[in-house]
Amino acid sequence: MSDFVKVSRDGDVAIVTIDNPPVNALSFHVREPLMQALLAMRDDASVAAIVLACAGRTFVAGADITEFGKPVQQPDLRAIVAVLETIAKPTVAAIHGTALGGGLELALGCHFRVADAGARLGLPEVKLGILPGGGGTVRLPRLLGAVKALRMIVSGMPISAAEAHEAGLVDAVFQGDLTPHAVNFAREMARKGGPFTPVRDRDDLLGETDLAAFDAEAADLARKARGLEAPIACAQAVRNAVTMPFDEALAAERALFVKLVASDQSRAQRHLFFGEREAAKLPGKDVVKRRIGRVGVIGAGTMGGGIAMAFANGGFPVTLLETSHEALQRGLGTIEKNYAVSVTRGSLSEEAKRDRLAQFKGSTDYADLADCDLIIEAVFEDMAVKKEVFGKLDAVAKPGAILATNTSYLDINEIAASISRPQDVLGLHFFSPANVMKLLEIVRAEKTAPDALASVVDLARRIGKVAVVVGVCHGFVGNRMLAARGSESEALLLEGATPSQIDRAFTDFGWPMGPFQMGDLAGLDIGWRNRKARGLTAVIADTLCERGHFGQKTGRGFYLYEAGARAGIPDPEVESLIREKAAEKGIAPREISADEIIERTLYPLVNEGAKILEEKIAARASDIDVVWVNGYGFPIGRGGPMFWAGLEGASKIVERLEHWHQRTGKDVFKPAQLLKRMAETGSWDVDAKA
């Protein structure tokens, strides 16, 4: 017996238990003893049925992702499933927690699957840039039908035990300790007697496939894949399950898997998987976290309301503070409307809406924040206003309450220094809409106490955010890098590119939208106000704002929006404005290629990221990638700006930046020391010796 796979008996039922914490991944040290145990139980005449279960918090959550890209050590998962399918006595997978990826594929090798009522089952491989490589694309359609399997595999989203039961993926659902139920189920099946048909031989549902409808749905999914290869390969593999004999489809799945796992897109997506988990880890010793029960939010505008909803959705009671009764009612009304929209869309039940609304307590009196353990201000972005709010909090907040600012740019050290308890002050920079966007930049100020920081990192996870801890600087990680990109977008306009040409280069790269579409959507007045506060200008955007053209909300911005339209069309007035401003500056328009657009906007972005690392504003290059993918829509298949820089070649980036630096003298093109070192060493490690 091994430490990782144990066999026990309950009468004539053998229980094979995998025990590989934390998530029972199918590492080599599990696969080898698992194979031996299954062979032994198959050949043991005293065993009437086999239950395959897991110890700890979950059923197998997948292949061991850390083994990807390395030579496969046999037996692989496919060999184990093949052996499972040679067993004539009933085999039952007992699923609790999550059966994901290779875990679900292992369960599909059994004759039966029983699940705990709280279990979730899925094939999330697509999110790692691969497809289920252990027979999942060929077996799942045999149980669910091709179209349902297609949806589940291409989305990567798990389903609940109840849904799985209804769909035919799970044979029984139980409450309470699962193993005894699974043993009884297995014994009952053995008593009834076989033959037991392995999933591979259950072809009846496949015969009913409407291939034209399947292809239409697959084509739609391919369009939404925005350049990612894995969703398309997933659809192809499921189609093969319908059109090819089992073994041929299995071999085709393998070939697609081998190709994808070696691709840059999959490497990028795996980098992000581990990067997100790494970002939540704080260096140094564990500290005792502060207890956070009630959360206070100051400001019920778009940002404050979204933040309050994020906490209410995470199960926290929220006190929402506004300056007047009217503003408070308006804010609460918007929150109620947002939840009502979710109910209409079917993503929230009427009961859940009531529960969430019941979490809110409105107030116009700071004294009502006295019982809050965390208070976040989301008031006007102005230092004097913020300091006034913090002064009031200093007077009313309970000792040990964490006091957070949602500022996007301001110096949090200065805010902290203005009150008597700087150790309790930090930044929580949410992204709009705060109840939807996953990213949360947690800003550590000079005097922030380690336990305050650790508490909010933990809290972020509890409300479903991807948290990245960053240091204080203007714009922190995300907005500071965005500014480096933004100045060049405008320069390209003056030199002859059009907004739609630049946006097109971005969407071709894989972004959901380009910088001008994004500006129009967010509102051009936000950047305008920020530039004015810092004495900066952007001649085209400033002129548009002076004309009252703030983007979608005013029907005009860089594009023209016909009544109610969300997609803009080119605006001749903007194009003549650009030509006029270029002429004033003596710039003659020229042809600009998509390559130049990418080079001049994304290379400065990477360069700023390198400076941020050098200054230790971010702890790791992967933290920056996590910020950009989750907060700004950087294409996941490219892994974030710092990962992408490695693929693009740091030496190429340095050389091109130097070229543009010489031509323009602009600071954004001056290559950072760390970028130059990356070109030599291939590493973003700030402390590494060259």
The catalytic site residues sit at: 105, 125
CB of 60 to ligand CAA, least distance (A): 8
The rounded distance, in Å, linking the Cα atoms of 506 and 492 is: 13
455 phi/psi in degrees, rounded to 5:
-65, -40
Taking the least distance from each CB to ligand CAA, the nearer of 124 and 639 is 124
Give the residue from 393, 390, 385 showing the smallest Cα distance to 367.
393
Taking the least distance from each CB to ligand CAA, the nearer of 313 and 338 is 313
CB of 87 to ligand CAA, least distance (A): 21
Could you tell me if residue 262 is left (phi over 0), alpha (psi between -120 and 50 degrees) or otherwise beta?
A: alpha
Taking the least distance from each CB to ligand CAA, the nearer of 24 and 405 is 24
Question: How far is residue 306 CA from its own chain's centroid?
Answer: 18
Q: ω before 124 within 30° of 0 (cis)? A: no
CB of 298 to ligand CAA, least distance (A): 31
Taking the least distance from each CB to ligand CAA, the nearer of 65 and 287 is 65
Q: How buried is 488 (Cβ within 10 angstroms: 0-12 exposed, 13-18 middle, 19+ buried)?
A: buried
On whether the CB atoms of residues 556 and 572 are closer than 8 A, the answer is no
Residues with Cβ within 8 Å of residue 362, at least 6 apart in sequence: 300, 319, 320, 321, 322, 328, 329, 331, 332
CB of 614 to ligand CAA, least distance (A): 26
323 phi/psi in degrees, rounded to 5:
-80, -30
Give the residue from 52, 40, 45, 36 showing the smallest Cα distance to 12.
45
Taking the least distance from each CB to ligand CAA, the nearer of 62 and 671 is 62
On whether the CB atoms of residues 106 and 77 are closer than 8 A, the answer is yes
Q: Amino acid identity, residue 103? A: G
Sign of CA dihedral 544, 545, 549, 550: positive
Residue ranges binding ligand CAA (CB under 6 A): 22-23, 25, 61-66, 77, 98, 100-102, 105, 124-125, 128, 132-134, 277
Give the residue from 381, 454, 367 showing the smallest Cα distance to 412.
381
CB of 466 to ligand CAA, least distance (A): 11
Provide the 10 A C-beta neighbour count for residue 420: 8
Q: Amino acid identity, residue 546? A: E
The rounded distance, in Å, linking the Cα atoms of 607 and 278 is: 22
Give the residue from 137, 361, 145, 338 showing the smallest Cα distance to 250.
137
Q: HSE of 446 in the Cβ direction (CA atoms, 13 Å)?
A: 8
Taking the least distance from each CB to ligand CAA, the nearer of 65 and 679 is 65
Taking the least distance from each CB to ligand CAA, the nearer of 257 and 528 is 257
CB of 659 to ligand CAA, least distance (A): 40
Provide the 10 A C-beta neighbour count for residue 46: 9
CB of 235 to ligand CAA, least distance (A): 16
Give the residue from 576, 587, 642 showing the smallest Cα distance to 614.
642
The rounded distance, in Å, linking the Cα atoms of 294 and 78 is: 49
Taking the least distance from each CB to ligand CAA, the nearer of 234 and 497 is 234
Residue by residue, DSSP assigns 152-170 as HHHH---EEHHHHHHHTS-
Taking the least distance from each CB to ligand CAA, the nearer of 22 and 193 is 22
CB of 104 to ligand CAA, least distance (A): 8
Torsion of CA 147, 123, 279, 444, to 10 degrees: 50
Taking the least distance from each CB to ligand CAA, the nearer of 121 and 410 is 121
Taking the least distance from each CB to ligand CAA, the nearer of 63 and 415 is 63
Tokens 């030496």 label which residue? 651
On whether the CB atoms of residues 279 and 467 are closer than 8 A, the answer is yes
CB of 134 to ligand CAA, least distance (A): 4
Provide the 10 A C-beta neighbour count for residue 381: 18
The rounded distance, in Å, linking the Cα atoms of 294 and 309 is: 13
CB of 100 to ligand CAA, least distance (A): 4
The rounded distance, in Å, linking the Cα atoms of 650 and 681 is: 10
CB of 253 to ligand CAA, least distance (A): 9
Quick one: tokens of 222?
A: 């391919």
Residues with Cβ within 8 Å of residue 385, at least 6 apart in sequence: 379
Q: Cα–Cα distances in Å, from 63 out to 28, 103, 277, 379, 509?
A: 9, 7, 17, 46, 30
CB of 105 to ligand CAA, least distance (A): 6
Beta strands in 69-166 (DSSP E): 91-95, 98-100, 112-116, 120-122, 159-160
Query: Which residues on neighbouring strands pair with residue 160, listed in sequence order?
Result: 120
Taking the least distance from each CB to ligand CAA, the nearer of 102 and 299 is 102
